Amino acid sequence: MRVWVLRAAWITLPLTAAPAIADGVRNWSTAEQVVAAVLCWLAWGIGLVAVLAPRPAGLTLVRVIAPTLFVAVLVAVGSGNPSTLAAIGGLAGTVVAAVLAADSSFAIASANAVAYGDEQRYPLRVPPALFLGPLPAVRAVVVAGVIVGPLLVAGGHYLAGAVTVVIGLPLAVLAGRALHRLSRRWLVLVPAGVVVVDRMSLVENTLFPREHIQLLRSLAAAETPGVALDLRMGATLGSLVATFDGPAELVLAARPGQDARTVNAPAMAVAVARRSEVLAGAARRRVRVEVGDVPKR
């Protein structure tokens, strides 16, 4: 249902957000207004395709475009040009789109659109520290790299605009690739067991066969993972712990100042969206799970 609400909100953005943005650029030159309009319509069109046909790449794009449109409306409202009705409509429409784009329902739909056979993919939680600066900054680099150059050229600053395009577009591509890694972090339930897809933590996708998983259970927010290898990177909501019948050999991804290394983990902790669904799905695949205080196979 949330995905359908997102689609409805996105389809109506030309009616809610467009008037406010148009009023906000009313004092710009004709060329700047045309470029701004083309960029906005292009962003809306890309987002429309992404929400109607969810894919991981579309998830990345929508999670950049949706908050950008909100900021655009906010700046337009700050200019004082939009009417009260246009301001309210623009802010309401873009807030709904941005909130639903960040919701796990859209991420799950995007992940499972590229699933293979009998598997179910659940996004891993984004590390909270990224929301405090790195994530907004990287999104800003993507947006600035795409729009600043053309707007400078439209404003008559040809040299500065050309230089910005040459530098900004490659930076936008690099930043976009970094963001896309967050859209491809999953816990995957497969007939053979559980797969962790997380190139930020592990060098390669890792299968944990169900016959080697002694127990998969919830981890309370205040509970420490103990001897488990913690792959949550600071996330606690939706935490799960998988305990193995013997140490699992895992290759951790390289991090700044630290090379890739191999560890032997007797257990593993991850933070996943829709934890209750994950446990129910794992139980259907004959993984031993703990529901409440009762283990269930």
Q: Kind of pairing, strands 229-230 and 261-271?
A: parallel
Q: What is the pLDDT of residues 46-78, one digit of tens each?
A: 999 999 999 999 999 999 999 999 999 999 999
Low-confidence spans in the chain with pLDDT less than 70:
291-297
- The answer for residues whose C-beta is within 8 angstroms of residue 58's C-beta and 6 or more apart is 49, 50, 51, 110
* Per-residue confidence (pLDDT) for residue 292, from 0 to 100: 58
Every domain of the chain and the residues it spans = 2-182, 186-296
* Per-residue confidence (pLDDT) for residue 105, from 0 to 100: 95
* Per-residue confidence (pLDDT) for residue 294, from 0 to 100: 42
The residue type of 209 is P
* Per-residue confidence (pLDDT) for residue 293, from 0 to 100: 47
Q: What is the pLDDT of residues 212-251, one digit of tens each?
A: 999 999 998 788 888 999 999 989 999 999 999 999 999 9
The residue behind tokens 């004959």 is 286
Give CA–CA dist 186/183, Å, rounded. 8
Map residue 165 onto helix, strand or coil: helix
Q: Which two tokens stand for residue 81?
A: 């040009």
Q: What is the pTM (predicted TM-score) of this model?
A: 0.90
* Per-residue confidence (pLDDT) for residue 160, from 0 to 100: 95
Distance linking the first and last C-alpha atoms of the chain? 31
